[in-house]
Structure 1
Amino acid sequence: MKYLNKLLPFCAACLLIACFLSSAQAQEAELTIKAENAVARAAQDAPVAKSVVRGRAVYDDTNRPVRRARVMLLDMSSRGTQRTGMTNGSGEFQFKDVPAGSYVVMVDAAGIITPVSFIDLEDAAAEKINLEEIRKNFDEVVVNGTNTVNVKVRARRGGAVSGRVTYADGDPAINVRVNIMRKKDGKVVRFITNMNPSALLGIQTDDRGMYRIAGLPPGEYILSASETIDHTGEASARDDYMGMGQMFGAGSLVVTYYQGTTKSGDATAIQVDAGQESNEVNISLLDRGLRTLSGTVVARHDRSPLKFARLTVASKDGASTSSPFPFAAGPNTATDEQGRFTINEIPDGSYTITVEPPYAGEEMDISSEEEGDGEEEPEPAATPAPTGTPKRKFTRKVQDVTINGSDITDLTITLSEGAIVSGVVTVEGGRPLPQTETYFMLESVSGERLTDGTQQNVQPDGRFTIDGLPSGAFYPNVFVAPGDKYYVKAMNAGGTDLMQNPLVVPESANINNVRIVLSPDAATLSGRTLSANNTPVSGVQFALIPADPNKWRTRISYLFGNSEGNGSYSVSGAPGEYLIIFLGGADNPRAVNEAWIQSRAAGALRVTLLPAQRKQMDLTVP
């Protein structure tokens, strides 16, 4: 059972890639847009799911069938669902019971360009995927939930890169990971070519040191080879999820770029054209001195060592070649009982060390787990209720270090105790709290991604607490499922109006006076997003911004919408007058701020929502 639990993050990571289109929803919309989609689902019947999509997949250059290949029907709306099937011996396929919506048919065959290959992993992590690039290169299939659609899918052969990786003495470099990155707008970005095992696991050289990467869209690419190195010398299941980090190419810091450099900015780009192969792209691994980095992680307040803190090291000298999977974004290690850590075989260069604190009170054994005899392990004893003052959580720390010609053996990294924010939620007029899930959450004003714990349930008595917070300024908010009835009417902490100003949290502070008042009179705007010729458009993101410029400074007043497969949308929030501003394909709702609004407010469509109003309005997409 323990091993099964360790597989869950792996399965979740694969699922995220398989459902990549759902990342078109922005991070902040994990609450906002989820609320709106919940409204749409609650307010409308589920989409009719009786359509049939049938067709034939052929190679674009020969018109010959793509036989016995996996095909996927990818939902282009925020639902991000997918269906999988196979072509037969004639290249034919069929999907039944398809809900109304807009889809892309993806053919998963060797050497074929897929929609996945157009997604930059950095954009996916920031949840700002540009679907327009996918729509431009792949045909959309639109169904109404009852009709039958026949399609001909043309599978386009991508370009390929091949070559040989050797050590400095000419010996073949076997089982070395080969990384390919796209050169785009002067930057080097990671991507994956497909959703099959070889693309997800990473390309490795064979027994001759040879490699080949196919299915590449036309463009410029950077190649590198990462030597297989265990920088931590640890075999702990805690550190590597049963070896999956190594399987997915976790974090080697010893990287050589084509041709013969250690920095991505100095690498030679390879031009790849559709259907063509660039061969003899050979990489000779550089021979260089390797160092050791070791030290201690301690608590700032009393300098006591912190065991089980997790450290991840990343190079600042080149583009990241780490796997996209969280458990493979190393190298990473954990401090021992004395708070010590060691990372071996690091080349000279500049690095960033990220330290994730141990969980408060964590006392688990991190030694390697042994296989049992197949019997189910007994349930652990119940944890005694805590007494006295609970332990404070620590905050994560990011620290730079430079290695230049010698080992570093005495690095000390200090972690501060996190701040605590607590308070109470009430409903105006003394009415009872909602009987549905209610969350209090904080979003960093800087846009920095925060660690887990910045969203907590509101207790039945209205109280909430978030701890382990770094210092900074935050936008507080409350989300009530399903989201179509309540909105935040007032919010303050002491003398600060949090509807107009962010919550400023000093280091290790204890802010316990946050007061939030909900109103049950939320307004709802719903309808469809339509093209100029009056046809539904799915996956359209837009913002409702208060017309009053004095409310542009704080994000709590922003509402975000996202249309579903049939173009329907539903947005709920505070009554008032709003500007409706559409987000472009590359726009990230997390980046919406006062300057962004000012540049787009002129000529924006306006709408006025009254308390508890349910207003219908179709929106024409520009």
Structure 2
Amino acid sequence: MKSIFTLLIALLLSIGVLGQSAADAAKAAVDKVKDAARDAAATTEEEPTTTVRGRVFYEDTGQPLRRSWIGFVRIKKLNTDPNETVSPVSGVWDYQNVESVLTNDFGEFVMKDVAPGIYQAVLKVPGILNPTLADRESPVFRQYMIDGVSEAQIEVGVRRGGAVSGRVMYQDGAPLIGAKVSLLPVFPPIDPSSEKTEIEKTVQFKVIMAMSGIGTAQTDDRGYYRFAGVPEGEYRVMVAEPSVFDGSNTKISAYSTQRYFNTSELKTYYPNAKTEVDASALQVFVGEELQDIDITLAPRELYEVVGRVVGKNNNALVDGIEVTFEREGKKEDFDYQSKQIRTTTTDKEGVWRFKDMLPGKYVATVAEASYRRYDDPDADPGARPNYATSEHKFEILEGERNEVILRIAEEAKLEGTITVEGNRELPDSVWVYADSRTDRASSDTPETTDYESEETVQMVQTEFSVDDLKEGEYFISVRASDEHYAKSITYKGKNVMDQPIKVEAGQKLEGFRVVLSSGSGKVTGKVIDAKQTDYIYAYMMPVRADISLYRAYLLGDSDYIGDDFTFELSDRPGEYYLFVKDGSNEPKTRDATPESLDNWVRKLLKNAVKIRIQRGRTVEAELSMPKKDSEPETP
């Protein structure tokens, strides 16, 4: 499970790296790992085992690999479906955790209790190439068949990867000591219409670089760095100077990861470029070393930004607010690692500050600090109110003192109760959503387990609260487990199902009542013109929903469409638009106009199929892919 968690974290990072167009690719990769891990855990039948003996040697010299750790990753089972693959979690993705044995002075090894299957060797040796999920089919990495019956004798030839080394210096020639240096793979922009396998390989390769440590190094006391075991390909080299960017005087432990991994604006790319776009790319070949890849830090002007967070209506200074900065623009316009996101928290005087900032346009997201989000202001009459999350744009100008006042409004909230008709027991999970054009907020699912006794609690009613709402109009919707659906949603006795609710800043709307019913209907079907290249989802949107709200289509269920192009959705009885969403031409919420958002939803609906869901029944439907901008509309 630890390996799965590590993989998920790395994939989430890679989403930010690759941009919105690759988000579905990363999600699909995570789903595959989850499925494979679940299948592997379900296999309880004992398999026969055998002993593997062999020798490890360098292919270029024939010399043995002495006193080195070797392990084997099973990539396929025997006597099963030839297309079945074994979970890559403990092997291909995280080969450092593979069980290994030590070679002797002649490079020989003996490994016992090896189950039947197709294997590849992995070496825990610096500089040696190891197979990854992205390149394991390459003829460079030999596959070994173990039948689990007879003892196996194998020869394992290994190759040294490429290497990159150099020195990092200030303008005056002094070395930069203890700085993080990154080796960044160069990939062409990812097109959602590209081959799915190519998109997956791009995501996976970047994950491997992050997880294996191949792509990171640190300068020594003379400013030197070196990467080894680098797969063949094109790369850029980046160095980030240490920076305590929030302006605090907090002492940081010498062993703290904050020293090494904080997001620094002080970046220089080989040879002395300020941006990745202007950097020189390096071609790395297996077994060869690129030396003297020296970096001279680029000159720059840095600024401190100081500001306050104040209440919009009363100008009160607000403490305990998280202020997060990021450079304005699309993720793909920035470097491989980040959009230079930074976060700090206001002090008792409502003051925040960032140091070492570059000139340019920024977006600040202002939100309640996580430690305050779960406090109840009503429990303490003297406590300040909670404030709604909001975004603010501003620009850091060269040669000027930059002071920014961020005005925020009190949050609104919705409160009410949830029951099941007939006074029956509540399902395990219920979520109440409030959706505006650009935002979504949700309630917590009710607790149905007593964690002290670990027994299920019989519940027929629960309360809910949806917080962190800004001023505006919202649709209220409900998702529930165990084939339950919202039969009615009322506010003070008035039906608000699919009707917008107007919310004002700081307002608390009490008196919502959600009544659930069991026996939701289903629709199953297939996307008839989808290709293996598509990452697509099927959605249902109530026919009477107002498309002027961007998130209106999320009122229905959605399902990721896999390689078989089938889908299954469920929802409450009624009429729905059923359509496909593939991410192409989707406007970015932050920069989109209301007109572009409405037009995008209308375009999706042009290919929609109108269906009627009936309680407890299943209907079938066929869907078509949405037209690209370059494709003519069908008359």
TM over 0.5: yes
The residue aligned with 1:309 is: 321
Say which of 445, 457, 474 aligns to 1:457: 445
Q: Which structure has the bigger radius of gyration?
A: 2
The residue aligned with 1:341 is: 352
The residue aligned with 2:193 is: none
Inter-partner Cα distance in structure 2 for 1:550 and 1:501:
9
Change in CA separation of 1:334 and 1:567 when aligned onto 2, cut-off 3 Å: same
Inter-partner Cα distance in structure 1 for 2:100 and 2:405:
58
Change in CA separation of 1:185 and 1:207 when aligned onto 2, cut-off 3 Å: same
Say which of 421, 424, 449 aligns to 2:414: 421
Inter-partner Cα distance in structure 1 for 2:88 and 2:138:
19
Inter-partner Cα distance in structure 2 for 1:456 and 1:138:
50
Change in CA separation of 1:526 and 1:225 when aligned onto 2, cut-off 3 Å: same
Shift of 1:226: 1.3
Inter-partner Cα distance in structure 2 for 1:78 and 1:338:
56
Matches within 5 A, 1:92-171: 110-111=126-127, 112=129, 115=132, 159-171=162-174
Say which of 181, 184, 193 aligns to 2:184: 181
Instruction: Report if aligned partners of 1:106, 1:115 keep a CA contact under 8 Å in 2.
Output: no
Instruction: Report if aligned partners of 2:165, 2:293 keep a CA contact under 8 Å in 1.
Output: yes
The residue aligned with 2:456 is: none
Instruction: Report if aligned partners of 2:322, 2:366 keep a CA contact under 8 Å in 1.
Output: yes
Change in CA separation of 1:598 and 1:437 when aligned onto 2, cut-off 3 Å: closer
**Correspondence 1:395 to 2:388:** yes
**Correspondence 1:49 to 2:44:** yes
Instruction: Report if aligned partners of 1:50, 1:97 keep a CA contact under 8 Å in 2.
Output: no
Inter-partner Cα distance in structure 2 for 1:524 and 1:387:
47
Shift of 1:607: 10
Instruction: Report if aligned partners of 1:490, 1:499 keep a CA contact under 8 Å in 2.
Output: yes
Say which of 434, 440, 450 aligns to 2:432: 440
Shift of 1:234: 2.7
Shift of 1:154: 9.6
Identity of aligned residues (%): 21
**Correspondence 1:319 to 2:334:** yes
Inter-partner Cα distance in structure 2 for 1:77 and 1:595:
41
Shift of 1:456: 1.4
The residue aligned with 1:221 is: 235
Say which of 608, 613, 616 aligns to 1:612: 616
Change in CA separation of 1:598 and 1:260 when aligned onto 2, cut-off 3 Å: same
Instruction: Report if aligned partners of 1:547, 1:578 keep a CA contact under 8 Å in 2.
Output: yes
Q: Deviations over 1:479-517 (max 9, x none)?
A: 44xx33312344466899776567665544444454433
Change in CA separation of 1:11 and 1:485 when aligned onto 2, cut-off 3 Å: same
The residue aligned with 1:298 is: 310
Inter-partner Cα distance in structure 2 for 1:153 and 1:496:
74
Change in CA separation of 1:407 and 1:307 when aligned onto 2, cut-off 3 Å: farther
Say which of 489, 494, 518 aligns to 1:520: 518
Amino acid of the residue matched to residue 553 of structure 2? T
- What SS does structure 2 have at the residue aligned with 1:161? strand
Amino acid of the residue matched to residue 348 of structure 1? P
**Correspondence 1:244 to 2:260:** no
The residue aligned with 1:558 is: 557
- What SS does structure 2 have at the residue aligned with 1:554? helix
Inter-partner Cα distance in structure 2 for 1:354 and 1:519:
39
Amino acid of the residue matched to residue 485 of structure 2? Y
For structure 1, the residue ranges without an aligned partner over 5 or more in a row are: 1-9, 119-132, 365-382, 530-536, 618-622
The residue aligned with 2:297 is: 285
Instruction: Report if aligned partners of 1:50, 1:147 keep a CA contact under 8 Å in 2.
Output: no
Change in CA separation of 1:544 and 1:16 when aligned onto 2, cut-off 3 Å: closer
Shift of 1:574: 4.2
The residue aligned with 2:219 is: 205
Amino acid of the residue matched to residue 554 of structure 1? Y
Inter-partner Cα distance in structure 2 for 1:273 and 1:456:
52
Inter-partner Cα distance in structure 1 for 2:351 and 2:577:
54
Amino acid of the residue matched to residue 556 of structure 1? L
TM-score using structure 2 length: 0.62
Shift of 1:258: 2.4
Change in CA separation of 1:354 and 1:158 when aligned onto 2, cut-off 3 Å: farther
Instruction: Report if aligned partners of 2:25, 2:535 keep a CA contact under 8 Å in 1.
Output: no
Inter-partner Cα distance in structure 2 for 1:306 and 1:437:
35
Q: Deviations over 1:156-208 (max 9, x none)?
A: 865443322111111221112223334434489994544657458x4221223
Shift of 1:262: 1.8
- What SS does structure 2 have at the residue aligned with 1:266? coil
Inter-partner Cα distance in structure 2 for 1:134 and 1:596:
41
Shift of 1:18: 6.8
Change in CA separation of 1:522 and 1:186 when aligned onto 2, cut-off 3 Å: closer
Of 56-65 and 310-319, deviating more is 56-65
Inter-partner Cα distance in structure 1 for 2:188 and 2:306:
37
Say which of 274, 279, 304 aligns to 1:267: 279
The residue aligned with 2:453 is: none
Shift of 1:573: 4.3
- What SS does structure 2 have at the residue aligned with 1:265? coil
The residue aligned with 2:632 is: none
The residue aligned with 1:368 is: none
Inter-partner Cα distance in structure 2 for 1:503 and 1:60:
70
Inter-partner Cα distance in structure 2 for 1:198 and 1:288:
29
- What SS does structure 2 have at the residue aligned with 1:295? strand
Say which of 98, 123, 146 aligns to 1:85: 98
The residue aligned with 1:411 is: 404
Instruction: Report if aligned partners of 1:65, 1:91 keep a CA contact under 8 Å in 2.
Output: no
Change in CA separation of 1:402 and 1:221 when aligned onto 2, cut-off 3 Å: farther
Two-structure CA RMSD over aligned residues (Å): 6.3
Matches within 5 A, 1:535-550: 543-546=537-540
Shift of 1:350: 3.5
- What SS does structure 1 have at the residue aligned with 2:98? strand
